[in-house]
Structure 1
Amino acid sequence: MENKKPDHLFIFLEVFAQEGGIQSYVKDMLRAYKKLNYQGQVFVLRDKYPVDDNLVGGNLNFKGFAHASTMIGRIRFMVSFLTFLIINRPQWVFCGHIKLGVITRLFCGLLNIPYTVLTYGKEVWDTLPPKQRQVLVDANQILTISRYSCDRIYQSHKIDQNKIDILPCVVDADKFTIAPKPIDLIKKYNLENSKVLLTVARLWSGDIYKGVDVTIRALPTILKTHPNVKYLVVGRGDDQPRLKKLTQQLGIEDKVIFAGFIPTPELVNHYQVCDAYIMPSQEGFGIVYLEGMSCGKPVLSGDSDGSADPLQDGLLGWCVPHRDVDAVASACIEILQGNDHRCNGEWLREETVKKFSLQVLDNRLKELIIDKELS
């Protein structure tokens, strides 16, 4: 296999430089690819080198193009991209973000190489610049993560639905497990005798759709029924000062804990310390909901987004209008009462893993790649 020319080229903006839902999804997809009998090359614009031992070596070769000069990094990336296509003529190119789509369409068009565009959520939901829309129109395949994103792509861009395939997000059920609340975190965040609501999200001013401010505004109502509630917010970003100020204005600053950035290996304990995962958002999918339910925690999401897939259209959790403070408060009160079957942790985990395990992703990716070869 070492001397075999690569079958596929994957290009991404970043995989290891930051942590987030897209990066987690990409890593899961590449792990699934490593189990297949193909040789792949991965180019990553903003990374220097892979930092995940599970992805290094074997049938995947990585090259990062991060540079002190953004322009030099981009030039090197584009030159290497085109050179690789000319020399190796891979069977297929997987473009990992619409922002890399224009150059992918140009190079693959010149060399008559088919390409797939990976999509995730908001970046393709609404009207795109003409050149980016043409990337989707001319793509041989579009992969997206949920039924909702599939529908939005079609509605906004009138793309042939037959070439849009769903490759869902999944959860590592061996890592995200049901366990007693970690004593160290209870002490660290002063959560003794508390009911804990949790959100894991970027706190960027451009991402207020995550709904952290909505949950904060819902807390005064929740506290009337459940005065021992505390809200643990995991994440960092430039919106945190505004959110802190909001807690002060509402007089609940002692009820909201901003934990800041937490490395992925430590996230499991944070899910385990909570009583419910709350994120009234607009997600392309929402891996965090899977992680919460795999840990046996009831979840709350928005009601008009890709979270319909992990919550299985409300079968597994509460779906509410994502900016409706009263609806969030009412649902949280109901969740904390714990009488609904959707609060049954063992059942939640079982139903989640049944549809969204790593094995499901392995099988689906294999199926999609084989289908392309036969088409």
Structure 2
Amino acid sequence: MIGTLNLYLVRRFALWLVIVTLGFGTVAMLGDFLEMLRFANRFNLGAGTAFYFTLHRLPLLLMDFLPFIFLFGSVFCLLRLSQAQELAVIRASGLSVWQFLKPLLVFTFLLSILIVLAVEPIGAQLHNRYTDKQAELTSQKSGLSFSTGGIWFREAIENGSYISRAREIDNAQMGRLLDLEIILLNRDGAFESRITAPSGEIGNGIFRLNNASIYRGTAIAKTVPQFDLPTGLVAESLADSFANARIINVWQLPGYVLAAGNSGIDVTRHQVRFQSLLALPILLVAMVMVAACFSLPTGRMFSTGQTIGMSVLSGFALFLFNDFIVLMGELKLMPAALASWTPALIALLLSISYLLTTEDG
């Protein structure tokens, strides 16, 4: 009997989650489509391109709405069960609030793990394609890339091109790169010379190498105090190009944080993003608990309208609190793990305390 009841509750809960997800998805898609349509019109692109952009952005947009989706899905599910007197029958059979909430909480936890491990990587990949296409249209594609070997970029110059590798960014001075190696290529793409330098600065359209050693074939290296190369990069782009943590999926984030941190790249946002993804299952479980706080006592304390209103207010308050704490983490005012886990744990503990007081006396 208990197994059948649990399955029934999970099915009802899943149905409401689907309904609420479709509602949020429709609103998010329409709003984002209008924004992408304005963007596409700037480049004389049609509605098809705008729709293509919207589809690529939609998975991560929906992930931003997940706390609200689970909050309202839980509220509507529990309200419907209460209005149909099904909760009254369940309680009369001797089951406590914790017993009939258990299948919903377990389902939420398992589903959220699946979202983090499978849906988020797909969303990150799609969003990455969108950002690449946007950068091409706006001519803001920096050419910067990162690997465990350092920071790489390629620049076209008058007589050919060059490929640059830097071991790390000097955080003490904006636009300064350390331990440089540059390969100069001619117009045909053939090797011309190799340049090494302990440091270099980017600024005013110039990439200036300090104490550069120039190697041409088998000749002895020639050392010059300074060697200038033209560049389209600006100092700020060195940091900004690696700032978007949303385009790196949860599987790649740990390795990226470790390697990029060793290269002098600021990875605070990436650390906060990774910890937030780890905390997502607890946050969504907390949303179900918050919904139960307002939905279970409906017949004694709140009307349906009041229940929905209180849920909206609590969800919005938690959303603002979460954004504030995450911002503090990104600004290094508190540790990334603390900033990411605090909202979820506070919401969970407060809702448990409330239910213990109201349901168990």
Which category describes the TM-score, using the shorter chain as reference length?
under 0.3
TM-score by length of 1: 0.25
TM-score normalised by L of structure 2: 0.26
Based on CA coordinates, which of the two structures has the bigger radius of gyration? Answer: 2
